[in-house]
């Protein structure tokens, strides 16, 4: 019988938890916004960990600028973060960290907006049909 969770999944979960607290406590760069680590995918040979993050723009900052700055800060700090993770997670090989912006949240917002727009148009069309048939 196969195991429910692969080892790489368990390592990814641990990296996600530890990385979230490390970013919050240790990185003091002012360009870094409110970062959330949404998913960590570890390669089978533990060579790389692809880390997907979301970030919330604060104030009047453009979302694209915040994403670009945050990605740059996190990728520049990847060596430091990898070293700190190696201290807390006992592995023979700590994966190299690669940070990517998680576009699934933004895509979900966009799709939700399209569905809402279609729903409103359908409701208006139904109201117009009732007015036409009622008179």
DSSP code of 132?
H
40 forms beta bridges with 51
Domain match, 21 and 76 both: yes
Residues 66, 39: one domain? yes
Domain coverage including residue 83: 7-102
Q: Can you tell me the distance from the alpha carbon of 61 to that of 3, in angstroms, rounded to the nearest whole number?
A: 45
Specify the pTM: 0.75
Report the distance separating Cα 12 and Cα 35, nearest Å: 17
Q: How many domains does the chain have?
A: 2
Whether 41 and 93 map to the same domain: the answer is yes
Task: Give the chain's radius of gyration (CA, Å).
Answer: 22
The confidence band for 100, taking pLDDT boundaries of 50, 70 and 90, is very high
Does residue 29 form part of some domain?
A: yes
Nearest to 70 by CA among 42, 29, 38, 108: 29
Cβ atoms 41, 12 nearer than 8 A: yes
Question: For the segment 26-65, what is each residue's pLDDT rounded down to a tens digit?
Answer: 888 888 878 889 999 999 888 999 999 988 877 777 788 8
The answer, yes or no, to whether residue 131 has pLDDT greater than 80, is: no
Q: What confidence score (pLDDT) does residue 134 get?
A: 61
1 in a structural domain:
no
């Amino acid at each position: 019988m196969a195991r429910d969770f692969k080892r790489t999944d368990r390592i990814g979960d641990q990296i996600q938890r530890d990385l979230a607290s490390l970013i919050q406590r240790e990185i003091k760069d002012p360009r870094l916004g409110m970062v959330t680590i949404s998913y960590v995918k570890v390669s089978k040979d533990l060579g790389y960990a692809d880390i997907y993050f979301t970030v919330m723009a604060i104030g009047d900052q453009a979302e694209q600028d915040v994403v670009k700055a945050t990605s740059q800060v996190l990728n520049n700090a990847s060596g430091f973060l990898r070293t700190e993770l190696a201290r807390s997670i006992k592995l023979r090989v700590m994966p190299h960290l690669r940070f990517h912006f998680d576009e699934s949240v933004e895509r979900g917002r966009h799709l939700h907006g399209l569905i809402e727009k279609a729903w409103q148009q359908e409701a208006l069309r139904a109201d117009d049909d009732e007015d036409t048939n009622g008179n």
